[in-house]
Structure 1
Amino acid sequence: MVSTSIRRAAAKRLRANTTPHERVLWRALKDLPMDGSHFRRQAPIGPYVVDFFCPAKRLIIELDGGHHNEDAMAKRDAERQRWLEDEGYHVIRFWNSEITADLIAVVERIYVELYGSREAAAVHLEHQRKRKTST
């Protein structure tokens, strides 16, 4: 497994070099009503760095460009998603073109993932840390 310091450095580098689509979604996520929690961007989780992460809901948002259609990349994405879901995270994916074409629909989908429906009131989201069990 890659060391924590290497993953953190990679995440920092990715945050410094965000894509235009990531910047647009990041601004939109900052406007979501999220009392008690927040989103992180380019967050290291296990051996991976995810695009956006809401710790309170264990929700991961990934943005994919056209290169994610290629067989090798699609296979890596599937393995990565399987690992994250096995660890208890929920992963949703959007194409970069969805951010450009209909940002409102993307934000609505994220809101539904956070609160259950478009009509649901935003409630306090408690940040949950994964507790280490002693042996």
Structure 2
Amino acid sequence: MRSRILVTTKSRELRANSTDAETKLWNALRNRQIAGFKFVRQEPIGRYICDFVCREKTLVIEADGGQHLESERYKVRDRYLREQGYRVLRFWNNDVLSNIEGVAMVIEAALGKSG
């Protein structure tokens, strides 16, 4: 129980302190704007908190800065998410900020593929 409260608190904190790229991506994803699918943000899956999740299509979307490049920790995280049945799409923050239309097209294509 305590662990769930801590995860919920952390999720709320992350939503309140979103990066510019996360905010821009959220504005593109919210209200079923991409292919009519619902996304949630800062969603806990196991011990991880994912930036955005489409539960219906078991798709996780992450907006990342350079600190995640070739990070072993994120390889382990992605493997765990895949083991839970999720597909993971990662976008660099600069791509989200400079080409949100292209990012949205890639997400829409991924939503069209079976999970």
What's the TM-score once normalised by structure 2's chain length? Answer: 0.90
Match in the other structure for 1:76: 73
Whichever residue aligns with residue 29 of structure 2, its letter is L
Whichever residue aligns with residue 34 of structure 2, its letter is L
* Offset, 1:52: 0.2
RMSD: 1.4
Match of 2:104 among 103, 107, 111: 107
Match in the other structure for 2:11: 11
Whichever residue aligns with residue 62 of structure 2, its letter is E
Whichever residue aligns with residue 35 of structure 2, its letter is P
Please tell me whether the aligned partners of residues 35 and 111 of structure 2 are also in contact (alpha carbons under 8 angstroms).
no
Number of residue pairs matched by the alignment = 110
* Offset, 1:33: 3.4
**What CA deviation, in whole Å up to 9, does each residue of 1:58-84 have, x standing for no partner?**
100011101112x6xx11110000001
* Offset, 1:110: 0.3
Identity %: 39
What's the TM-score once normalised by structure 1's chain length? Answer: 0.77
Match of 1:32 among 13, 31, 34: 34
**What CA deviation, in whole Å up to 9, does each residue of 1:5-50 have, x standing for no partner?**
111111011001111100100011122231xx51000001100000
Extract unaligned runs of 5+ from structure 2.
Answer: none
